[in-house]
Chains A and B, each alone.
Chain A
C-alpha cells in the first residue's frame, strides 16, 4: 500500500500554480459529479454542491483531503478503471486525462474553493457540429465522398493519426467478409484481379446484390431483434427478415410491420416480434424503444431513469401503446399462439407499488419522444417523400385493392411484395372476416406507435439504425453502447451521423444504399495502426474513425470461411477413400414400455434447446440449415376460420385438459449396445448462416460470441477465449479443411509445382500471396507432400491473420 501511494504522488504532473477553481475545477464537478451528489440526490452520503458539504465527506471516507490526493476518496475513485468497483463517475462518461490532472493538482495545492460558490448540475453540452454539405448528393458515390469530407472536417483538430487506406487485396477480403459473410473464393480473387481501376466500386455493387448478402445481414438483424428459433414465431420471423432484406423492403416498412402486426406467425410472420416478448406491454415498450430508437427508456420502468431525464410516467405512456395487446393460446392445433387486441387498457397509472388498486387509472398512450416539427421542410424529407411516392405507386401496381390492404395492414401476411399463392389465399381469407369482431384484431394503437417511430422527423429512428450498421462495418459506433442515445452519453462525429441518417431517410430507408455509402467511403478502407503506436494515440485514432480497430470475424463468418477455404461444401474425396471402422454405442429397443412425462424441461436451461450429443462429441460443430421458404409457406391457414371467438376462460380450461392428457405418454425402453461399423468419413459442411438461432450452448457459434438473444442490449462478445482456440486447433472442421483432398484444385497443383501450390494456399486462405520469407518457410513445411500442405493450411486457418479482418 505504501509503495503504491508513493507511485501516485510521483506520477502527478507538476503544476506551477494551483488550477483555478472557477475556470478549471467547477466545470468538471458540475458536469460530472453534482448530478448525483447534491441536495436532491445524495449518493453514498456525499454532497458536492457546497464546500462545507463536500468536506463532510461521504459514508465511507473523506472525499477530499486537501494536499493529499492519495488519501482523497474522490481522487482514488476517479482514477479507477471503468470495470473496477466504485469507479466514478458511476454514470455517464469517464473523466478525461486532462481533467484528472487538473483535479489532482487542485487537491495537491490544497483544494481551494472560493467562498460562497454553490455548484449546480450542468447538463452536458450538445456535441459540436460542422456545416453539412450544401447540396444533396447525386449518387451513392458522391454521398460517400461527402461522408469522407465531413469526417475530415470533424477530425480537423483532434490530433489523431489517419492511417493509409488498405490495399486492393485486403479490400477484397474485408468487403467480402463484411457484406456476404465469408472470405473470397479463388475464383472471386481471380475475377477481381481482372477488373480495372474501378474494381472496388464494382465489388461493392456485386457483393451487395448476392444472395448471401441477405444471409449475412439477417444475422445482424436477428441479433438486433433478438430472434430465437425456439420461441413461438421465431423461425417465421427469421424467414420474414431474410425475405425483407432479399426483396429490399424499406427498413421503415419492416419496422412498421414488426410493431403493428397481430395474429399468428404462420399467416403473419412479422408478429414474431410481438410474440418474442410474449406480447407483454412493459417488455415491448422497453425493447421497441431501445432497439429501434436507441433509447433505454426501459430503465424508467421501476423508477425515473437514473442516468437520464426519462420519468417513469414517460415509460408508462409508451407502454400503453401495447396495453391492449393480448397473447392467446388457441385451443386447437396443439395450442398455437397468436396475438389480438382486447378492449381494456392493461397499463394503469400510478404503478402497482405506488397506489391502491382502486386509484389506478388506465393510461392514455402518449409518445414521449420529440418529433422534429420545423416550419421549413428539410431537403432530405422532400426527397424521402418523393421516394415514398414511387414506392406507393409501385406497391399499388404490384397488388391491387390497395385500400382494403391498408385496412388489413396488420392482418395481411407481409412478406415483401410476394405473389405467393398461399399468402394470397390467406389474405383473401382475412378479408372475409369481420376485422373488428374477429379473433385476430389489428392493433390501432400499435399502428399509431409504428407511424410515430418511423416518422422521418423522429431523429432517433434512422440514427439508431445507422449507428448499428456503421459499427458493424467500421468496428465502432458514433454512440457506444450502440443503443444508448442520451444527452449524458456523448456522441462522436454527430455531423457525419446526421448526414448518413438523412441520406438513409432520403433513400426511402434503403438498407443496401446505406451499406454502399459506408463501404464506398475512405473511412471504411482505413488500415489498422502499426505495433509501435502509443496506446493512448491508438485509442483516440480508432475512436475517431481515423484508424481501423482490430476486428475479429463473427462466429458464423469464421465457420463459413473455414468451409470455403477448405472446400468442405463439396465432397473432396472420392467415394470410399476414407473408409474406416468405428466402434460406437447405439440404442436398441427392448420391447418394453415405460411412462415418461412429456414436458420435462431438458437440463439445458431457459428455453435453450437440448443438444443431442454425437458419440464422438463433434456435434458442437454441425450446422443444420433452415429452409426459409418452407417456413413461410405453411398450410395451417384454415385454422383462422376454425377459431371463432371463445371466452379466454373456456380456452384456458380446454388447454389445461389437453395439457394433462399429454403430460405422460408411453415410450419404448431402450438398451445400449456397442457395434462396429464401416463408415466413409468424407464429410461435407453446410453454411452456418441459416442455422436455427441461437445455436445450442457450447456450439462453435456460441463459443465465438453469438449472443443468446434473450436480454436487451446484449451484444456479440468478441473476446478471445481458450475454448475458441481448442475448437479451432482440434476441431473436426479445421482438420478436414486442412487435409488435401484429391477432388480439390490444390491436389493436382501440388503434384505439378509446389511453389504454385503454396501461393494458391495463401491466396485461398488469406487472400494474399506469401512474402519471400513466408514462401521459403512454407517450402520446408510442405516438402512436396500432402501432409505437409495440410500442416501449412492448418496453421494458416488457425492464424490470427485468418480470424481478424485485414
Chain B
C-alpha cells in the first residue's frame, strides 16, 4: 500500500496483530510463480483529450479516400510509417511501439475517457481509480515527491482508493505551487517557529485524547513539512533547465509539461500524466492536426531521446493515448467525427520492444483487421510492464471486492522483449 493511509492504525489495529504475524499478505503467499520480470518503474502518460485522429497520426492510409491531407513518412524502423506531422518522432520509432488495433466501444467523450483512463466502464455503483492512482497505490514511493503528479489538468480520480491516492496537481508546468512554501510575508524562520507552536498544541490535544485520527493528522502534518523542506522540490522549477532545452521541447505548455515530467521521473515520481485537449476536430481537422503535430512532436521526441540518453527510458513507460479515434470519412466541414471502432496508441520505453507494430486496422482505418486489442488490454499491458499483479483484487471501502484490471484483460505480450 503505497498511498499513505494515515488512518491505517485505527481502522485495522484490532486485526493487525494477526496479520502482521503472518508477515505478508495472502496475495504474496499465493503469488503466481510466473510473475513477470517487470522493467518499468515509472509511467509518463500523455493524455490527448477529445479523441485524437488515428489516421492523421500513427495509422496513415496513403492512397485511400480516407487519407486526408497528410502523407506518411518513413521512420527509423523499416516498414513503419507515420504521419508527416511527426518528423522528429519518426526518428525515435526504433524506441517505440505502435498499437494500431484498439477496438473501443464508447463513442461518447465522457464514457470513453473514463474507460481509457480507468480500464472499466462507468458504473453508477462505484468510481474506479485512474491508472495513475493504481500505480501510486501498488508501487512503493521513491523519494520525497508524491507518487502521482498530474500536469495541466486532472485525469481520472482515485475513486475507491481514496483521497490519499489522488494526484498531486500542477496547474501549469513551471508554475509555482503556493502551497509548498509559507505564505508571502512569512519568513522561513518565522514559519518554522509557527510550526513549533502548532506542534506543542497538537501534542497537548493528543496526550489528552489519543484518538488515532489525531495522530494520523499529525503524521500528515509531519510529511507535509518534510515535503516543503525537500530538496527534490527543485524538480518542479523549470528555470533550472537552460533555455536551449526548453526550446528543444517546443517551449509550449505541453513541451514544458513533457520536460517537467522528465524531471519528476528523475526524482522518483511513479506516474506523471500530462493533459492536453483540442482533439475533437469535427471541423478543419487538418489545420488543427498540423498545429498539434507542431506541439507534440518536439516535446515527445525530445523526451524519449533525453530519457534514452540518461538511461531512464528502459525504466520509464511513455504512453500517448486518447479516448478514441476519428471517422475515416471526412465530413463536409473538413473534419472527422468520433470513431471508437478502431484507433491507435503509441508506447515507448519501460521494457517495450522498440519498432514493434501490434495489430492493424483495415485499409480505410474503419475496423481492426488483425489482432484486435481491447481497451482493458492496454491497462493489463501497463500493469504487466510495472509488475503489478493483474489478478489483484482490492476491497472498496464498502467491502465490495474489485479487481484492479478487468478479468478478461490480457497484456499485449508481443510488446515485451522475451
A residues sitting closer than 8 Å to B (CB atoms) are 1, 3-5, 7-8, 11, 60-61, 76-77, 79-87, 90-91, 94, 97, 100, 277, 283, 286-287, 296, 298-299, 481, 484, 528-533, 535-536, 538-539, 549-550, 552, 595-597, 599-608, 610-611, 613, 616-618, 660, 663-664, 697-698, 703, 705, 708, 710-715, 717, 719-727, 729-732, 735, 774, 777, 781, 787, 791-792, 794-796, 798-801, 803-804
A597 & B281 in contact (Cβ 8 Å cutoff)? yes
Q: Restricting to B8-36, which residues have a CB under 8 Å from any CB of A?
A: 10-27, 29-30
Q: How far is the CA of A588 from the CA of B125 in the complex (A)?
A: 46
B26 & A84 in contact (Cβ 8 Å cutoff)? yes
Please give, as numbers and ranges, the residues of chain B lying within 8 Å of A715 by CB-CB distance.
397
Q: How far is the CA of A605 from the CA of B212 in the complex (A)?
A: 34
B392 & A85 in contact (Cβ 8 Å cutoff)? yes
B395 & A83 in contact (Cβ 8 Å cutoff)? yes
A8 & B22 in contact (Cβ 8 Å cutoff)? yes
Please give, as numbers and ranges, the residues of chain B lying within 8 Å of A3 by CB-CB distance.
23
If the complex has contacts A83-B395, A484-B398, A697-B154, are A602 and B49 also in contact, measured as CB distance less than 8 A? yes
A82 & B12 in contact (Cβ 8 Å cutoff)? yes
Q: How far is the CA of A705 from the CA of B17 in the complex (A)?
A: 29
A725 & B220 in contact (Cβ 8 Å cutoff)? yes
Q: Which of A82, A97, A530 contacts B208 (CB 8 A)?
A: A530
Please give, as numbers and ranges, the residues of chain A lying within 8 Å of B50 by CB-CB distance.
597, 600-601
B125 & A600 in contact (Cβ 8 Å cutoff)? no
If the complex has contacts A85-B393, A299-B125, are A80 and B209 also in contact, measured as CB distance less than 8 A? no
A796 & B201 in contact (Cβ 8 Å cutoff)? yes
Q: Which of B6, B276, B331, B333 contacts A603 (CB 8 A)?
A: B276
Q: How far is the CA of A595 from the CA of B334 in the complex (A)?
A: 12
Tell me how far the C-beta of B144 lies from the nearest C-beta in chain A, rounded to whole angstroms.
11
A719 & B227 in contact (Cβ 8 Å cutoff)? no
Q: How far is the CA of A60 from the CA of B179 in the complex (A)?
A: 49
A531 & B207 in contact (Cβ 8 Å cutoff)? yes
Q: How far is the CA of A791 from the CA of B198 in the complex (A)?
A: 9
Q: How far is the CA of A673 from the CA of B173 in the complex (A)?
A: 18
Q: How far is the CA of A736 from the CA of B262 in the complex (A)?
A: 36
Please give, as numbers and ranges, the residues of chain B lying within 8 Å of A484 by CB-CB distance.
398
Q: How far is the CA of A481 from the CA of B24 in the complex (A)?
A: 28
Please give, as numbers and ranges, the residues of chain B lying within 8 Å of A11 by CB-CB distance.
17-18, 21
Interface size on B, residues (CB 8 A): 118
State which of B58-66, B161-169, B310-318, B369-377 sits at the interface with chain A.
B161-169
Please give, as numbers and ranges, the residues of chain B lying within 8 Å of A717 by CB-CB distance.
162-163
Tell me how far the C-beta of B18 lies from the nearest C-beta in chain A, rounded to whole angstroms.
4
Pairs across A and B, CB under 8 Å, 6 listed: A82-B11, A530-B208, A530-B210, A617-B177, A697-B157, A735-B186
A800 & B227 in contact (Cβ 8 Å cutoff)? no
B395 & A82 in contact (Cβ 8 Å cutoff)? yes
Q: How far is the CA of A605 from the CA of B17 in the complex (A)?
A: 41
Tell me how far the C-beta of B224 lies from the nearest C-beta in chain A, rounded to whole angstroms.
4
| Interface assignment of B143: CB less than 8 Å from any CB of chain A | no
Q: CB-defined interface of B344-374 with A at 8 Å, one 1/0 digit per residue?
A: 0000000000000000000000000000000
B277 & A550 in contact (Cβ 8 Å cutoff)? no
Q: Restricting to B118-165, which residues have a CB under 8 Å from any CB of A?
A: 123-127, 146, 152-157, 159, 162-164
Q: Other than A794-B198, A795-B198, give 14 A-B pairs with Cβ distance below 8 A.
A: A85-B393, A86-B30, A94-B15, A286-B124, A287-B124, A530-B210, A552-B213, A606-B114, A610-B153, A617-B176, A711-B127, A714-B127, A720-B216, A800-B201
A550 & B15 in contact (Cβ 8 Å cutoff)? no
B202 & A799 in contact (Cβ 8 Å cutoff)? yes
A720 & B15 in contact (Cβ 8 Å cutoff)? no
- Which residue in chain B gives the minimum CB-CB distance to A681? B184
Please give, as numbers and ranges, the residues of chain B lying within 8 Å of A600 by CB-CB distance.
49-50, 277-280
Q: Which of A286, A710, A712, A731 contacts B179 (CB 8 A)?
A: A731
B216 & A8 in contact (Cβ 8 Å cutoff)? no
- Which residue in chain B gives the minimum CB-CB distance to A612? B171
If the complex has contacts A83-B12, A530-B208, A533-B210, are A602 and B6 also in contact, measured as CB distance less than 8 A? no
Q: Which of A86, A597, A794 contacts B26 (CB 8 A)?
A: A86
If the complex has contacts A722-B220, A732-B183, are A298 and B125 also in contact, measured as CB distance less than 8 A? yes
- Which residue in chain A gives the minimum CB-CB distance to B331? A660
| Interface assignment of B231: CB less than 8 Å from any CB of chain A | no
Q: How far is the CA of A599 from the CA of B49 in the complex (A)?
A: 11
Query: Which 6 residue pairs are nearest across A and B when measured between Cβ atoms?
Result: A531-B210, A603-B153, A603-B275, A86-B26, A79-B18, A4-B23
- Which residue in chain A gives the minimum CB-CB distance to B111? A606
Q: Which of A616, A664, A777 contacts B178 (CB 8 A)?
A: A616
Tell me how far the C-beta of B330 lies from the nearest C-beta in chain A, rounded to whole angstroms.
14
If the complex has contacts A724-B220, A804-B214, are A664 and B176 also in contact, measured as CB distance less than 8 A? no
Please give, as numbers and ranges, the residues of chain A lying within 8 Å of B392 by CB-CB distance.
85
Tell me how far the C-beta of A545 lies from the nearest C-beta in chain B, rounded to whole angstroms.
16
| Interface assignment of B7: CB less than 8 Å from any CB of chain A | yes
Please give, as numbers and ranges, the residues of chain A lying within 8 Å of B110 by CB-CB distance.
601, 606-607
Please give, as numbers and ranges, the residues of chain B lying within 8 Å of A296 by CB-CB distance.
125
Tell me how far the C-beta of B372 lies from the nearest C-beta in chain A, rounded to whole angstroms.
20
A801 & B205 in contact (Cβ 8 Å cutoff)? yes
B224 & A725 in contact (Cβ 8 Å cutoff)? yes
A781 & B197 in contact (Cβ 8 Å cutoff)? yes
Tell me how far the C-beta of A723 lies from the nearest C-beta in chain B, rounded to whole angstroms.
7
- Which residue in chain A gives the minimum CB-CB distance to B123? A711
If the complex has contacts A85-B392, A698-B154, are A531 and B209 also in contact, measured as CB distance less than 8 A? yes
Tell me how far the C-beta of A452 lies from the nearest C-beta in chain B, rounded to whole angstroms.
22
Tell me how far the C-beta of A667 lies from the nearest C-beta in chain B, rounded to whole angstroms.
13
If the complex has contacts A4-B21, A726-B227, are A603 and B202 also in contact, measured as CB distance less than 8 A? no
Tell me how far the C-beta of A581 lies from the nearest C-beta in chain B, rounded to whole angstroms.
13
| Interface assignment of B221: CB less than 8 Å from any CB of chain A | yes
Tell me how far the C-beta of A679 lies from the nearest C-beta in chain B, rounded to whole angstroms.
13
Q: How far is the CA of A503 from the CA of B158 in the complex (A)?
A: 40
Q: How far is the CA of A7 from the CA of B20 in the complex (A)?
A: 9
Please give, as numbers and ranges, the residues of chain B lying within 8 Å of A697 by CB-CB distance.
154, 157, 169
| Interface assignment of B409: CB less than 8 Å from any CB of chain A | no
Tell me how far the C-beta of A658 lies from the nearest C-beta in chain B, rounded to whole angstroms.
13
Tell me how far the C-beta of A764 lies from the nearest C-beta in chain B, rounded to whole angstroms.
16
B15 & A80 in contact (Cβ 8 Å cutoff)? yes
Q: Restricting to B167-203, which residues have a CB under 8 Å from any CB of A?
A: 168-169, 171-172, 175-183, 185-186, 190, 193-195, 197-198, 200-202
If the complex has contacts A11-B21, A617-B176, A732-B183, are A777 and B398 also in contact, measured as CB distance less than 8 A? no
Please give, as numbers and ranges, the residues of chain B lying within 8 Å of A800 by CB-CB distance.
201-202, 205-206, 214, 217-218
Q: How far is the CA of A283 from the CA of B126 in the complex (A)?
A: 12
Tell me how far the C-beta of B127 lies from the nearest C-beta in chain A, rounded to whole angstroms.
4
A660 & B282 in contact (Cβ 8 Å cutoff)? yes
Tell me how far the C-beta of B261 lies from the nearest C-beta in chain A, rounded to whole angstroms.
15
- Which residue in chain B gives the minimum CB-CB distance to A84? B25
Q: Which of A719, A791, A798 contacts B7 (CB 8 A)?
A: A719
- Which residue in chain A gives the minimum CB-CB distance to B29? A76
Q: Which of A536, A708, A722 contacts B14 (CB 8 A)?
A: A536
Please give, as numbers and ranges, the residues of chain A lying within 8 Å of B87 by CB-CB distance.
none
B277 & A79 in contact (Cβ 8 Å cutoff)? no
Tell me how far the C-beta of A568 lies from the nearest C-beta in chain B, rounded to whole angstroms.
14
A719 & B395 in contact (Cβ 8 Å cutoff)? no
Please give, as numbers and ranges, the residues of chain B lying within 8 Å of A735 by CB-CB distance.
183, 185-186
Q: How far is the CA of A714 from the CA of B125 in the complex (A)?
A: 8
Q: Which of B19, B113, B155, B172 contacts A80 (CB 8 A)?
A: B19
If the complex has contacts A82-B12, A87-B395, are A605 and B7 also in contact, measured as CB distance less than 8 A? no
| Interface assignment of B283: CB less than 8 Å from any CB of chain A | yes
Q: How far is the CA of A218 from the CA of B97 in the complex (A)?
A: 51
A792 & B171 in contact (Cβ 8 Å cutoff)? no
Q: How far is the CA of A517 from the CA of B225 in the complex (A)?
A: 43
A528 & B211 in contact (Cβ 8 Å cutoff)? yes
Q: How far is the CA of A712 from the CA of B126 in the complex (A)?
A: 6
If the complex has contacts A80-B18, A613-B171, are A532 and B210 also in contact, measured as CB distance less than 8 A? yes
- Which residue in chain B gives the minimum CB-CB distance to A9? B21
- Which residue in chain B gives the minimum CB-CB distance to A732? B183
Q: How far is the CA of A798 from the CA of B164 in the complex (A)?
A: 20
Q: Restricting to B236-292, which residues have a CB under 8 Å from any CB of A?
A: 275-284, 287-288
